[in-house]
Amino acid sequence: MTDHSDAIAAFDATIALAKGADAAFAALQALTEATVGAKLFTYMTVDMPAELARRAYSSDPQNYPASGTKPIHYDAWFDIVHKQRRYFIANTIADIAKVFPDYALIDSLGCQSVVNMPVVIGDELIGTVNMLDVDGYYTPERVQMIHDVLAVPAKLAALVAARG
């Protein structure tokens, strides 16, 4: 396993001083880029009573601005991420197109693979960390690294963001 101690230490130092969603999720983005890698990184919050997902952070605010919303669709993606609380993984644009209507924009940004990581706190799904990169990027080894390195920091960033 690769040693990510420097990246984790940098995240720890940054998140300790972070105030607000932008700072918290920027720290998580930096950790993601230093360890797993992602051409596009976003964080979506979940509002189940309103059946809306809201983009709280984006590494590409021009194409995917923060505060953008989309309705929650009850589909295969929902079952995997919301009900089963497992990572959604697609490694081709064809697989992305099956669940994301904005697949053409995703493809135009050079992204053809995705991992959506559910963030669950207190048995409640509060959001998803979304990492996108080139075709075939999210190998089983990278997905395991996401689990091992990013799962707990994602929860911490979400809590710091919610605190304001």
C-alpha–C-alpha distance, residues 49 and 137, integer Å: 34
- pTM (2 d.p.): 0.95
Which domains occur in the chain, in start order? 5-163 (3.30.450.40)
Q: Which two tokens stand for residue 29?
A: 């983005």
Quote the percentage of the chain above a pLDDT of 90.
91
Most confident option among 44-48, 62-66, 87-91: 87-91
pLDDT of residue 1: 54
Backbone angles phi, psi at 71, to 5 degrees: -70, 150
- pLDDT range class, residue 39, cuts 50, 70, 90: very high
